[in-house]
Structure 1
Amino acid sequence: MQLHDIWFVIIAFLWTGYFFLEGFDFGIGVLTKLLARNRSEKRVLINTIGPVWDGNEVWLLSAGGATFAAFPEWYATLFSGFYLPLLVILVCLIVRGVAFEYRAKRPEERWQRNWEHAIFWTSLLPAVLWGVAFGNIVHGVKIDAHKEYVGGVLDLLNPYAILGGLVTLALFTFHGAVFASLKTVGDIRERARRMAGVLGLVTAVLAVAFLGWTQADKGDAGSLAAMIVAVVALVAALGANRLGREGWAFAFSGITIAAAVAMLFLTLFPNVMPSTLNESWGLTVTNASSSPYTLKIMTWCAAIAAPIVMLYQGWTYWVFRKRIGTQHIAEAH
C-alpha cells in the first residue's frame, strides 16, 4: 500500500470520526424542537453537548486540512464544484456556535427563542447537506478533461444524493436521541428512548434503500460486508434501546455510522471524485495526490499529533460523563 492509499484511509477515518461525533451533535440540535417540551428541557439537551460540540468540529477541520494537503486536486475540484452547499454548511456551523454561546446571554424570551430556532435550523441543514454532498461524491459529478467541475447546483440535487441527505438527517437524529437517553434522567430520558425507537425504524427504511442502491450501482464484496455490518448494528441499536441499554444502543448506532461511511469510501476507492462525463476524467488517489515527500512529512506529523488530540478529547468526554436533568437547571434559565 502506497502513501496516497494510506492517506485515503486516514481521510475516511477522519470523516467517520466527524460523523460519529458531530452526528449526535446535530441530532441534539434537531431534537431541541422535536423532543423538548419547555425551555428547561431545551437547556438540558443543549447542556448534554455543551462541553464537547466545539471539539467535535476539530474532526471536520482535520478532514478538510488533510484533503487539502494530501489530495489538492480533490480539494480544489470539490470546493469549487460544491461551493454553494459547502458555504451554507460553513455559515450554519458559524451561526450554530454563536447560538450556543449567546442564547443565555439575555433573559428575554424572544431573544432565547430566536437563538433556539437558529440551533434547530443550523443543525438540520448541515445534517442534510453532508448526505447530499457525499452522495454526489460517490455517485460522480460532471468533471471535464481539465479535472474541473462543469455542472450546476441543480445537478447536485439528483435522487440518489437527496436520498443520501434524508439518510444522514434520520441517522444523525436517531443517534442524537440515543445520546440524549444516555445523558439525561427523568421524563426526558424516557421520551428520548421512545423517540429513538421511532426514528430508528425510519432510519432503517431509508438506510437500506440508500445502501442497497449504492451496493447495486458500485459495490463489491468489501462494501457488501460493510453494508451488512451497518444494517446489523442498526438493528442491534434498536434492540438495545428497547431494552433500556442506552450505552450499548449508542455504541451500536455509532457502529452503524462508521460502517455506512466505510461502505461509501470502499465503493469510491480508488476514485476520490468520479466523473459522469468520462470515466478517465475522474479524480483518483493517484492523479489527485500530493508528492510522496509531502505525504511522508504529513504522515510523521499525523503520527505525533493525532494520538494527543484523541486522548485529550477522550478525557473531555470522561470528565463530562454524568447524566443531567431539569433539576440541574437553575431557576434563572
Structure 2
Amino acid sequence: MHLHDVWFILIAVLWIGYFFLEGFDFGVGVLTKALARDERERRVLINTIGPVWDGNEVWLLTAGGATFAAFPAWYATLFSGFYLPLLIILVCLIVRGVAFEYRAKRSDERWKRNWEHAIFWTSLVPAFLWGVAFANIVHGVKINAAGDYAGTFFDLLHPYALLGGVVTLSLFTFHGAVFVSLKTLGDIRERGRALARWLGLFTAVVALAFLIWTQADGGDGWSLGALVVAVLALVAALGFNQLGREGWAFVCSGATIVAAVAMLFLSLYPDVMPSSLNPAWSLTVTNASSSAYTLKVMTWVAGVMTPLVLCYQGWTYWVFRKRIGVRNIPV
C-alpha cells in the first residue's frame, strides 16, 4: 500500500469522525425547534452540546487541511467547483458559533429568539448540504481534461444529490435525538426518545434507498458489506431506543453514520473525484496526490499529534458526561 492510499484512508476517517460528532450537534440544533417547548428546554438542548460543539469542528478543519496537503488537485477542484455550497456551509458554521456565544449575552427575549432561529437554520442547512456535496463527489461531476470543474451550481442539484442531502439531514437529526435522550433528564428525555423512533423509521427508508442507489451506481463487495453494517446498526439503534437503552442506541446510530460514510469512500476509491464527462479525466489517489516526501512528513506529524488530540477530546466528553434537565436551568 502506497502513502497516497494511506492518506485517502486517513481523510476518510477524519470525515467519518466529523460526521459522527458534528452530526449529533447539528441534530440537536435542529431539535431546538422540533423538540423544545419553551426557552428553558431550548437552553437544556443547547447546553448538552455547549462544551463540545467547537471541538467537533476540529475534525472538519483537519480533514480540509489534510486534503489540501495530501491531495492538492482534489482540494483545488473540490473547492472551486463546489464554491457556493461550501461557502454557504462556512457562513452557517460562523454564524452558528456566534449564535452559541451571543445568545445569552442579553436577557431580551427577542434577542434570544433571533439567535435561536440562527442556531436552527445554521444546523439544518449544513446538515443538508454536506449530503448534497458528498453525493456529488461519489456520483461524479463535470471535470474536464485539465482537472477543472466545468459545470454550474445547478448541475449539483440532481435527484441523487438531493436524496443524499435528505439522508444526512434525517440521519443527523435522528443521531441528535438519540443524543438528547442520552444526555437529558425528565420529560424532554422521554420526548426525545419518542421523536427518535419516528425519525429513525423515516431515516431507514430514505437511507436504504440512497445506499442501494450508491451500491448499484458503483459499489463493490466492500461497499456492500458497509451497506449491510449500516442497515443493521440503524435497526439496532431503533431497537435499543425502544428499550430505553440510550447509550447503546447512540453507539448504534453513530455506527450507522460510520458505516454509511465508509461506504461512500469505498465506492469512490481509487477515484477522489470521478469525471462524468470522461472517466479518463477523473481525479484519482495517484494523479491528485502530493509528492512522496510531503506524504511522508505528514504521516510522521499525524502519528505524533493525532493521539494527543484524541486524548484531549475524549477527556472533554468524560468531564461533561452527566445528564442535565430543566431543573438544572435557573429561571
Compute the TM-score of the two structures, normalised by the length of structure 2: 1.00
**CA deviation digits over 1:78-104, x for unaligned, max 9?**
000000000000000000000000001
| Deviation for aligned residue 1:51 | 0.2
Matches within 5 A, 1:310-321: 310-321=310-321
Aligned equivalent of 1:185? 185
Q: Distance in 1 between matches of 2:15 and 2:221?
A: 22
Q: Distance in 2 between matches of 1:282 and 1:224?
A: 23
Question: What SS does the corresponding residue of 2:67 show, helix, strand or coil?
Answer: helix
Alignment pair present for 1:210 and 2:210: yes
Q: Distance in 1 between matches of 2:24 and 2:154?
A: 29
| Deviation for aligned residue 1:239 | 0.1
Aligned equivalent of 1:60? 60
Q: Distance in 2 between matches of 1:196 and 1:31?
A: 11
One-letter amino acid matched to 1:191: R
Q: Distance in 2 between matches of 1:40 and 1:186?
A: 13
Question: What SS does the corresponding residue of 1:104 show, helix, strand or coil?
Answer: helix
One-letter amino acid matched to 2:235: V
Gapped regions of structure 1 (runs ≥ 5): none
| Deviation for aligned residue 1:266 | 0.2
**CA deviation digits over 1:253-281, x for unaligned, max 9?**
00000000000000000000000000000
Gapped regions of structure 2 (runs ≥ 5): none
One-letter amino acid matched to 2:181: S
Aligned equivalent of 2:273? 273
Q: Distance in 2 between matches of 1:326 and 1:14?
A: 35
| Deviation for aligned residue 1:330 | 1.2
Aligned equivalent of 2:226? 226
Q: Distance in 2 between matches of 1:179 and 1:291?
A: 42
One-letter amino acid matched to 1:210: F
**CA deviation digits over 1:233-253, x for unaligned, max 9?**
000000000000000000000
**CA deviation digits over 1:64-91, x for unaligned, max 9?**
0000000000000000000000000000
Q: Distance in 2 between matches of 1:159 and 1:275?
A: 18
One-letter amino acid matched to 2:295: L
| Deviation for aligned residue 1:302 | 0.1
Aligned equivalent of 2:142? 142
| Deviation for aligned residue 1:188 | 0.1
Question: What SS does the corresponding residue of 1:141 show, helix, strand or coil?
Answer: coil
Aligned equivalent of 2:13? 13
| Deviation for aligned residue 1:220 | 0.6
Aligned equivalent of 1:303? 303
| Deviation for aligned residue 1:147 | 0.1
Q: Distance in 1 between matches of 2:28 and 2:263?
A: 25
Alignment pair present for 1:285 and 2:249: no
Question: What SS does the corresponding residue of 1:272 show, helix, strand or coil?
Answer: strand
**CA deviation digits over 1:277-317, x for unaligned, max 9?**
00000100000000000000000000000000000000000
Q: Distance in 1 between matches of 2:328 and 2:102?
A: 20
Q: Distance in 2 between matches of 1:168 and 1:114?
A: 25
Compute the TM-score of the two structures, normalised by the length of structure 1: 0.99
Question: What SS does the corresponding residue of 1:142 show, helix, strand or coil?
Answer: coil
One-letter amino acid matched to 1:329: I
Q: Distance in 2 between matches of 1:80 and 1:233?
A: 36
Q: Distance in 2 between matches of 1:301 and 1:217?
A: 37
Q: Distance in 1 between matches of 2:271 and 2:258?
A: 20
Q: Distance in 1 between matches of 2:220 and 2:291?
A: 30
One-letter amino acid matched to 1:259: A
Q: Distance in 1 between matches of 2:72 and 2:45?
A: 39
Number of aligned positions between the proteins = 331
Alignment pair present for 1:92 and 2:76: no
Q: Distance in 2 between matches of 1:298 and 1:218?
A: 30
Aligned equivalent of 1:252? 252
Q: Distance in 2 between matches of 1:167 and 1:24?
A: 14
